[in-house]
Structure 1
Amino acid sequence: MSLQTVNALWAALPRPRFDDNNKLHLPGYQAHESKAIVARLVSDDLDAWSVAASRVGYCSNPVHLVGASTTIDTTTGEVISSYTSADEPLGSTVVRCGNRRESACPSCSRLYAADMFQLIRAGVRGGKTVPTEVADNPLVFATLTAPSMGPVHGTRDNGRRCRPHTTGQPRCQHGRSTTCMAAHADGDEQLGQPLCRDCYDYASHVVWQWWAPELWRRFTITLRRTLAHHLGIPATRLHEAVTVQYAKVAEYQRRGLVHFHALIRLDGPRDVEGGFAPAPRQVTPTILARLVRDAVSLVRFTAPPVHDDDVPRVLAFGSQVDARPVTTARRTDDPGTALSPEQVAGYLAKYATKAAADTTDHTNPHLRRIQHTADTLGRRVEDDWVTTGRQGPLAALPYGLLGKWAHELGFRGHFATKSRRYSITLGQLRRARRRAQQLVADANRRGEAIDLASMEAQLLAVDDDHTTTLVIGSWTYTHTGWDTPGDVALAKAAAAAAREHDQERAAQRNARNQQGEVT
């Protein structure tokens, strides 16, 4: 057991204290967690656990595998390297869980957010194999909201009261007030809660959420048609003049409905080699923002009834639509209506790591009822499918899998998507990171230094389909997660400490850059 390892992990934990029974207690942790943490810190295999945990970035719920692999040069048949999990500190190969949700795994979520930031930023300013000329193309940051399913408690600008006025009766049909004179602060448990849960349209809430991905798809189609009309060309020939590229993430509101936040960029003709061609001058960022708003207002979708006793619904986005140009170093847009690329990329990366798990608190009655409604509707669909003897698989029905998405409040879409040519892909970034880690490991074994910064373009551009090596392996899954609650707590604490350290370094770096600009 290394004293250095103990000190490093201990520093990530809150300052301990002794309770009334003279037992060591760590603030913020339950008694059994504190006991398990201390047991790990004094265990004989602490160093082995620390090495394994650090290799996966202190992932909260890693996957354990056993097996071996051999890397062969396909051109010569030579065995380049071999690997076996038996050589690992814990006797198994530990890999990240890869969960993007901050509530599930802070470490993997942080890595996902970093990758998303790089992906999004590359589509704004260039870099990561994307040409810097992309910064000259019109770019808009848009937020597409959900419609109202009933009045809910919320915050207002400048600390104003929640709902001081009403356009109808002072009380609803259930006898509850239709106004709220409170000025809610952040963290208020009432935020997002309906003024009357019996008036709130939970069924329509779930149906809208279910079809939200379809509304986004129709928006992209409508935007292209709106662009074609503005340019005076047939929609079928739009690709000869412009292409629409985007990166989009979904964020849950307090009321349990998703917003779509998107960066929408206009490029030139699709058939230009490499993509990212200059956009036509007829569409400025300001005009693109207006066309985005116009397209959102035109989107409609008639959702089929959930069951035989239900009714069809005409779905649309909410009336609150925000679309404004994004400025870069090359732009001169109105600074009062623009956002910086780093700010927008940071927003979208943060939203991409939020999850329904963050809004499905079992103590929240509104969210519990949304889940219950989605589950009930899903069971009704399944029962009708069984009792009526309908042909085909359940998944083929419009709402066949609704019950399976109740934990996501009915939202079945991806939380982060992008168009094909917006920028690089997450797969490219992850493959480049694996290659870089392997190069560093090989260089360390040889005692050599390596400059990864100069190799970035090469690492990102390598195509796995054209590599000259073949990896042959046999692997078996053993289990998921750490052995004790103390291990999980230590991993999360170490990941949090690493995040704070990186944030401090980033703040210092930004301060030095700003000081350099001033001088």
Structure 2
Amino acid sequence: MPTPAPGGPDEGLSFTDREILSTATHPDFRAWLARVRHIGGCQHPVHLVGHTLTVDASTGRLVHSFTSAEQPHGRLTIACGNRRQSRCEPCARLHQGDTYHLVVSGLAGGKGLPDTVRSHPRVFVTFTAPSFGPVHRHTTDKPCRPSRGRRGLVCGHGRPLWCLDRHTSGDPLTGAPLCADCYDYPAAVLWNAHTRDLWQRLHRNLYEAIATTRGISRTAVRNAVRVAYAKVAEYQRRGSVHFHAVMRFDGPTPDAPPPAWATLALLVRTIRTATRRVHLAVPGLDTILRFGAQLDIRPILPGHHGDDLTERAVASYIAKYVTKPEVAGITVDRPIRDAITISVLPVTDHARTLIRICWTLASRAEYKSLNLRRWAHQLGYRGHIATKSRAYSTTYTALRAAREQHRRDHNDQEETSDDIDTITDKDWTYTGNGHTPGQAMFADGIADDLRTAREAAHDARMSVDTHQETCNEHDY
């Protein structure tokens, strides 16, 4: 920004004040403010120039036009849509809400799914990674690794196999190996890189386990029952990914009930059997990749007040981790461009070693397809944070389309008649992203206002729900 002229109206103002003044006095300020409010106060919006033209296919008459020239500053500003809270809180909040509705509709119905799915057997499962070596644990009431039976025991590198400290969740030692030389770093990285393959084997094994239990073919099983799921990936402090998943028995289609023999007990038994049978041999690695021995399976209850694990609780839990996949000191939210950067990343020594192993393994021919350098910031994990089976519930695309339709209906925007056969020509070019410092301050204010309004609406809904439950308890 040029230095203010002596005696000018902004002489003596701080940089922040000059930025705010420059933004607020721009001729397009009010229109720009309305646009930023429309995209929820996005912190890193994307800017486009171009047009969308709709013409009558039979006559060539222009039916509707939308150009960037009509927009503030001569460009169309759209939300970045980033799901990471560390990158853009408003867009992450929106993605979190979409994930909640996606998960809860698969449990309670809605969004095109009948509410009869509530009667289907369904469970909440946590799949863990195997051990790659003993690590320091987060404990509060007992030592990390009690010395009983271990005092005096050391590994092959002379390091003790016990630890009497108590580590907080933010302690850099939490999740770090007792002996870095004993820890199987290559296997830990390749586990993260192959979780997608392991999950596919698990899903296939589910039907094989049911077929074995029932004594029928896999084709017959798939014609009678389907296993629908939605899952989210979460990083443990040791840097290994584990999955939280909702799994549900359906009939041949989601709106059909599963057969009578497809019980909750069978679902639990099937998941345990299928998980034990998963194994994957990786070239250049002596270890066979498997899921961890710890497998937590809990039934999901219909959703009454006071239940331990309800539909809403599960949906909220999964939605929370979709926007917070990064673990402080363990992963970073941007790709790593060069090896020199690794040494200055704000991560623990353990995480830094995992990242360096990603960088090193990427140079080996057998791991070229894994793109480990591209995914080094995620410690080799290259899958989506949240995924689901096709039949579980609605999709993010459908939720975004419904939200956009609601906006059009709310704003009374004119739509093209369905009776007219039209041709649409779209030509848009990326020109940049982000706000100026002054614009960022106003955008942050809009995001804060919207957050306050959401919290107030949530508190009001909770108050109404509590009152309604009280009335029901007293049979008013």
Q: TM-score range by the shorter chain?
A: 0.7 to 0.9
Residues 375 and 382 of structure 2 are in contact (CA less than 8 Å); yes or no, is this contact kept in structure 1?
yes
Match of 2:142 among 155, 160, 163: 160
Q: Does 1:475 align with 2:454?
A: no
C-alpha displacement at 1:86, in angstroms? 1.4
Are the counterparts in 1 of residues 237 and 327 from structure 2 also a CA contact under 8 Å? no
Shift of 1:468: 5.8
Are 2:99 and 1:129 aligned? no
- Secondary structure of the structure 1 residue equivalent to 2:66: strand
Q: Distance in 2 between matches of 1:468 and 1:174?
A: 76
TM-score (norm 2): 0.84
- One-letter amino acid of the counterpart of residue 159, structure 1: D
Which of 177, 195, 206 lines up with 2:160 in the alignment?
A: 177
- SS for the counterpart of 1:423 is coil
Asked whether the equivalents of residues 70 and 82 of structure 1 are also in contact (C-alpha less than 8 Å), the reply is yes
Q: Distance in 1 between matches of 2:154 and 2:185?
A: 20
Question: Partner of 1:418 in structure 2?
Answer: 388
Measure, in 1, the Cα distance between the counterparts of 2:231 and 2:84.
17
CA contact (8 A) 1:131 1:276 kept: yes
Matches within 5 A, 1:10-21: none
Structure 1's unaligned 5+ residue stretches are 1-21, 25-31, 306-310, 386-396, 447-464
Deviation at 1:292, TM superposition (A): 1.0
Q: Which of these residues, 278, 281, 294, is aligned with residue 320 of structure 1?
A: 294
Q: Give secondary structure in 1 for the equivalent of 2:74.
A: coil
* Residue 360 of structure 1: aligned partner: 331
What pairs up with 1:429-468 in 2 under 5 angstroms? Answer: 429-442=399-412
Match of 2:372 among 402, 410, 414: 402
Give 1:74 deviation, angstroms: 5.5
Please say if residues 293 and 322 of structure 1, whose CA atoms lie closer than 8 Å, have aligned partners that are also in contact: no
Which amino acid letter does the alignment assign opposite residue 313 of structure 1? Answer: T
Describe the superposition over 1:114-155 as per-residue Cα deviations: whole angstroms up to 9, x where unpaired: 111111111111111111111111111111001111222222
- 1:10-42 deviation digits (Å, cap 9, x = unpaired): xxxxxxxxxxxx998xxxxxxx7x567655665
> Residue type of the partner of 1:352?
V
1:369 to 342, 346, 353: 353
Give the structure 2 partner of residue 297 of structure 1: 276
Match of 1:505 among 457, 460, 470: 457
Give the C-alpha shift of residue 470 in structure 1.
4.0
Residue of structure 2 in register with 1:349 after alignment: 319
Alignment partner, residue 452 of structure 1: none
Aligned 8 A contact 1:247 1:264 in 2: yes
Compared with structure 1, are the counterparts of its residues 115 and 207 closer, same or farther at alpha carbon in structure 2 (3 Å cutoff)?
A: same
2:66 counterpart of 1:83: yes
> Which residue of structure 2 lines up, in the alignment, with residue 279 of structure 1?
258
Task: Note if 1:120 corresponds to 2:103.
Answer: yes
Contact residue 106 and residue 496 of structure 1 kept, 8 A? no
Q: Secondary structure of 1:442's partner?
A: coil
Q: Secondary structure at the match of 1:379?
A: coil
Range with greater deviation from structure 2 (77-86 or 116-125): 77-86
Map of 1:57 onto structure 2? 40
Q: 2:419, 2:298 → 1: CA distance?
A: 42
In 1, Cα distance between equivalents of 2:136 and 2:448: 33
Residue of structure 1 in register with 2:469 after alignment: 517
Helix, strand or coil at the partner of 1:64: strand
- Partner letter of residue 479 of structure 1? G
Task: Output the CA distance in 2 between the equivalents of 1:35 and 1:379.
Answer: 50
The answer to whether 1:69 aligns with 2:52 is yes
Aligned AA (2:273):
D
**Counterpart of 1:369 in 2: which secondary structure?**
helix
Summarize deviations over 1:435-455 as a string: whole Å, max 9, x none: 222222335x89xxxxxxxxx
Taking the TM superposition and a 5 Å limit, the aligned residue runs for 1:158-307 are 159-165=141-147, 169-270=152-253, 275-305=254-284
Does the CA contact (< 8 Å) of 2:23 and 2:439 recur in 1?
no
Q: Secondary structure of the equivalent of 2:374? A: helix
Structure 2: stretches of 5+ with no match in the other structure: 1-11, 333-344, 472-476
Q: How many residues align?
A: 442
In structure 2, distance between residues paired with 1:349 and 1:467: 41
- Write the deviation string for residues 280-339 of structure 1: whole angstroms up to 9, x where unpaired: 12122233123212211221111111xxxxx443110111111111111599xxx88x61
Q: 1:376 to 1:500 in 2, by over 3 A?
A: farther
1:352 to 1:503, Cα distance in 2 relative to 1, 3 A: same
Match of 1:495 in 2: 447
Distance in 1 (alpha carbons) for counterparts of 2:419 and 2:225: 32
For residue 394 of structure 2, give the secondary structure of its aligned residue in structure 1: coil
Per-residue CA deviations over 1:391-422 (Å, capped at 9, x if unaligned) read xxxxxx66452222212210111111111111
Contact 1:154 / 1:184 at 8 angstroms: preserved in 2? yes
Letter in 2 for 1:241: A
> Counterparts of 2:214 and 2:396 in 1: how far apart (Å)?
33
Percent identical: 38
TM-score by length of 1: 0.78
Task: State the secondary structure of the residue aligned to 2:200.
Answer: helix
The one-letter amino acid paired with 2:399 is L
Aligned-residue offset at 1:357: 7.3
For the residues of structure 2 that align with 1:495 and 1:290, how far apart are their CA atoms? 46
Question: Equivalents in 1 of 2:289, 2:149: separation in Å?
Answer: 23
1:174 offset after TM fit, Å?
3.4
Letter in 1 for 2:101: Q
2: CA distance, partners of 1:467 / 1:140: 49
TM-fit CA distance, 1:360: 2.2
Matched-pair contact (CA < 8 Å) for 2:303–2:312: no
Distance (whole Å) between structure 1 residues aligned to residue 148 and residue 57 of structure 2: 74
